Structure 1
Amino acid sequence: MAKRSYYAPKGGLPPQSDLISDRAVFTQAYAVIPKREFSDIVASFLPFWDKTRLWVIARPLSGFAETFSQYIMEVQAGGGSDRPEPDAGAEGVLFVVEGEVTVTVAGKSHRLTPGGYAYLPPKSGWSLRNEGGETARFHWVRKAYEPVDGLDAPDPLFLNENDIAPLTMPDTGGGWATTRFVDPADLRHDMHVTIVTLTPGSVIPFPETHVMEHGLYVLEGKAVYRLNQDWVEVEAGDFMWLRAFCPQACYAGGPGNFRYLLYKDVNRHARLGGFGR
């Protein structure tokens, strides 16, 4: 198995000699946040998190992506939180890209290293600490859980990408694969966070147009992505934010694999906004 890498931002500030123009764009259908945008001046802080800063790369916006928020967390050694999630109705996914963290749920601790994944259901009362000697960086995807009468909420999950065999897409010769942390048939889950891998020269061969919103953080490699009517170049460290029904396709440019962390909302009826009620 090829060694996997996970791009993690470090902050800082571009030098005064850099050109201002770059690939950052915000449209009615999609947004692209290139890796150099993750500077010190756009970092944020949260209540009850010690020795921690973060970059907010997605948040609900009316008329755009509305179902989720996504942070890149940076927790120094000894930092973390005993009160990380203020919303009792929020579920979360953590994905570690650098360092290690310890997540505790119901009195049991779980150590997450790069490639580590945690699903945290609402009201789970989890906590997180960086007990290692180096700064830890991880993604935190948050969503308001949509309960369904007759279905229990999902259980917590603690996994690692390196222990899961990717599933290849049919008719692609193994060039397009998805690492799934949750069984797609488990309808308790209303969001999936997966890892998509395309080998050099492989493609998503048609412009996918669907109801699911997406957040795509490039972990490794580079590609040309078709977003709505535009082709955009993306590389490790970039983030794409796609609203529902935004056409999307991809050509992996090489020389190595192109891999990204993907969020999508699944398994629920479309909200009707109160019409007819």
Structure 2
Amino acid sequence: MDSSPRYHAPRGGLPAQTDLTTDRAVFTEAYAVIPARTLSDITASLLPHWEHTRLWILARPLSGFAETFSQYVVEVSPGGGSDRPEPDPEAEAVLFVVDGQATLTIGGTAHLLAEGSYAYLPPGSPWSLRNHGDGAARFHWIRKRYERVDGLDVPESLVRREQDIEPDPMPGTDGVWATTRFVDPADVRHDMHVTIVTFQPGGVIPFPETHVMEHGLYVLEGKALYLLNQDWVEVQAGDFMWLRAFCPQACYAAGPGKFRYLLYKDVNRHPSLRTIP
């Protein structure tokens, strides 16, 4: 059996007129589920200063819900890209490639990104991205306003590939639940983590996690039952789950193959005590 990583990527299009309208899309006060087929042509957006590029916005700061991050799936056609990608000088970013190739240039140094490539871009980092290939490049772009701390330096830029990193098994799980970490979790300069969580068939989160971190979970591969607040929801490759702080969550990976998702969470900072308008 092929054990190499798989990465679901949207292709756009539009469901057929003969398809059922019923789906698993839901937005509640605690979580949202955006099914894979929602990422169609009619839900795509454009951005200023990006050529031959479209994107699907999966999450954005929303008062009373999840407030720390935005997450896009970006599709750059051949010849496309941007030399002015980020308008906010305080925004940090993670890029994670799920399809095709693109050239990321950070401070004059070029990096060829392919499937499984991860890039961390600190706030104020001069970067650009271009697709010089023959096919579309598709990647996740996760943005967060960096929370500076007196006495801590801003993290440096980083480019890695999932294929070069050994996943960390969760203690006591015999490796059926593991996390691929792109940065050192003990490095408190980072105020967000983007990881890949992998469950082998039969792996579970054995209790309802209830915590302050907000989450974006994009299913890269497989299917599972996921507990969101009080609801068990069936999810599959291409689905996105958006969780506000303290939303209970658990997972049962029923198989037949691996269940993997790209996970965002905010970490390593005091909660703000300022009144939220």
TM-score (norm 1): 0.98
Measure the CA separation in 2 of the matches of 1:133 and 1:226.
41
Deviation track 1:21-79 (CA, whole Å, cap 9, x = no partner) reads: 11000000000000010010010000000000000000000000100000000000110
Structure-2 residue corresponding to 1:104: 105
SS in 2 for 1:44: coil
Structure-2 residue corresponding to 1:169: 170
Aligned residues: 275
Structure-2 residue corresponding to 1:157: 158
Structure-2 residue corresponding to 1:9: 10
SS in 1 for 2:273: coil
SS in 2 for 1:78: strand
Asked if 1:29 is matched to 2:37, the reply is no
* CA shift for structure 1 position 133: 1.1
Structure-2 residue corresponding to 1:94: 95
Question: Which letter does structure 1 place at the counterpart of 2:197?
Answer: V
* CA shift for structure 1 position 120: 0.2
Structure-2 residue corresponding to 1:79: 80
Asked if 1:115 is matched to 2:120, the reply is no
Measure the CA separation in 2 of the matches of 1:133 and 1:43.
22
Question: Which letter does structure 2 place at the counterpart of 1:156?
Answer: S
Deviation track 1:197-225 (CA, whole Å, cap 9, x = no partner) reads: 00001101000000000000000000000
* CA shift for structure 1 position 106: 1.1
Question: Which letter does structure 1 place at the counterpart of 2:127?
Answer: W
Question: Which letter does structure 2 place at the counterpart of 1:264?
Answer: K
Structure-2 residue corresponding to 1:194: 195
Measure the CA separation in 1 of the matches of 2:108 and 2:228.
44
SS in 1 for 2:155: coil
SS in 2 for 1:138: strand
Measure the CA separation in 2 of the matches of 1:16 and 1:138.
29
SS in 2 for 1:13: coil
Specify every segment of 5 or more residues in structure 2 that has no aligned partner in the other structure, as ranges: none
Matches within 5 A, 1:245-260: 245-260=246-261
Which 4+ stretches in 1 moved above 4 angstroms? Answer: none
Structure-2 residue corresponding to 1:125: 126
SS in 1 for 2:178: strand
Structure-2 residue corresponding to 1:140: 141
Measure the CA separation in 2 of the matches of 1:106 and 1:225.
41
Specify every segment of 5 or more residues in structure 1 that has no aligned partner in the other structure, as ranges: none
Measure the CA separation in 1 of the matches of 2:82 and 2:254.
40
Deviation track 1:224-276 (CA, whole Å, cap 9, x = no partner) reads: 0000000000000000000000000000011110000000000000011159x
Question: Which letter does structure 2 place at the counterpart of 1:239?
Answer: F
Measure the CA separation in 1 of the matches of 2:98 and 2:107.
25
Structure-2 residue corresponding to 1:273: 274
Question: Which letter does structure 2 place at the counterpart of 1:94?
Answer: L
Measure the CA separation in 1 of the matches of 2:159 and 2:251.
30
Measure the CA separation in 2 of the matches of 1:106 and 1:3.
32
